[in-house]
Amino acid sequence: MSYHTVLKNSVNNETDLLDKLYDFLVNTVGWTSHDDQRSGSGYFVATSTGEDTKQKICIKFTRNAGSHRIDVRQYLSWDNVNHSGKKESGDSYSYIYSSGSVHNYWFYGDKDHVVVITLVGTSYWCWYGGIYDTVYNSDYATTQASISSGDNVSVQVDTTDPLEEGEYYLIMDDENCERAQISSISGTTITFTHLNNSYSSGARVGEDPMPNFIAQYQFPNYAGCVQFYYNGVVGTNYNYTATRFGPTDDSNSKRYPNSKRFFWPLLLTVSNTTYQDYLGYFKHLYSLDKGKQNVISEDTIEYGGVTYDVFVAYQNKVVIVPRSV
């Protein structure tokens, strides 16, 4: 586990914060610097295959000097020659809150995710990016040959363990993603009822083979954008997702009458006019009800031999992050 932290430090402005974030992700945690254009266009793209080397994380961080913030987008893939990405996810609210003057920051992360806390004036802001712990099967099959669009498309895969006949799955390579039905499985050969796109060898086929997410700046009061929904549509509107917090009654005081603090994982859901869905949990990120447990930012909680940092973010939503895992 390559979990690392940078505890309360200061930066001069959003440019300095961008540089510090690059150093943390690339030089400390171990993400790959895929396209570093900080000196010219004011952005960098970092990628990661995760702690298990099976993930596909691709995030672009861009200095926004006019608004003094860091804009964030995620991609299915990024071309570092032509400097362009495929299937951009995010919206105008997908950014890390920063400032044009001196302010504080905290970093927490590993090869799966990163949490950024900033203190601007007297307000604390939280941002999360990377994978979430999906409630669905994150295992996937990998195609062994390129395939073309059309009906009854067959291809050999490395394993059929995460697949079943008749079920629908996401298929994705570096160019496209869609939801398709597997009509039959014979040995290690699967047949799709229909494909709208062509796919290269090495394409992933699974329930949730890319459980990626970037927060909006008012996280966790509002959530953010997933890379793909269940149907292969790219996430471009934070209103389609929501965070769900733990119990908000006095159950904690009943279990712990001596005021021992307790907290719960943050849940990510889809909640829009089309459908609702549970997606999973944010990695190493927790919350509690401030109305029932009176905490303030930069409190610490000792639990199970681990120190947790407490921050009261936008709209009094509490985020709790471990210093070690």
**Higher pLDDT pick, 276 / 91:** 91
State the average pLDDT over residues 273-291. Answer: 90
Q: Tell me if 232 sits within 8 A of 173, measured CB to CB.
A: no
Q: What DSSP element (H or E) covers 19?
A: helix 14-22
Task: Render pLDDT for 239-262 as a digit per residue (tens, 0 to 9).
Answer: 999 999 876 555 555 555 555 667
**Percent composition of the chain: helix, strand, coil (DSSP 3-state, to 5):** 10, 50, 45
Asked, as a colleague might, if the bond just before 322 is cis with ω within 30 of 0, I would say no
pLDDT at 77 over 80: yes
What is the spatial distance between Cα 41 and Cα 43, in angstroms, rounded to a whole number? 6
What's the chain's average pLDDT?
94
218 Ramachandran zone, left/alpha/beta (phi>0; psi -120 to 50) = alpha
Q: What DSSP element (H or E) covers 69?
A: strand 69-74
Spatial neighbors of 195 by CB under 8 A, at least 6 apart, are 147, 148, 149, 150, 153, 171, 178, 180
What is the spatial distance between Cα 72 and Cα 151, in angstroms, rounded to a whole number? 37
- Say what the pTM is: 0.95
- Helices then strands, counting H and E runs in the chain, come out as 2, 25
**Per-residue confidence band for 294, with pLDDT thresholds at 50, 70 and 90:** confident
pLDDT at 141 over 70: yes
C-beta neighbour count of 231 within 10 angstroms: 12
Task: Render pLDDT for 177-220 as a digit per residue (tens, 0 to 9).
Answer: 999 999 999 999 999 999 999 999 999 999 999 999 999 999 99
Please give the backbone phi and psi of residue 251, each rounded to the nearest 5 degrees, phi first.
-60, -35
Q: Please compute Rg for the chain using Cα positions.
A: 21
Q: Tell me if 131 sits within 8 A of 252, measured CB to CB.
A: no
The pLDDT value given to residue 307: 97
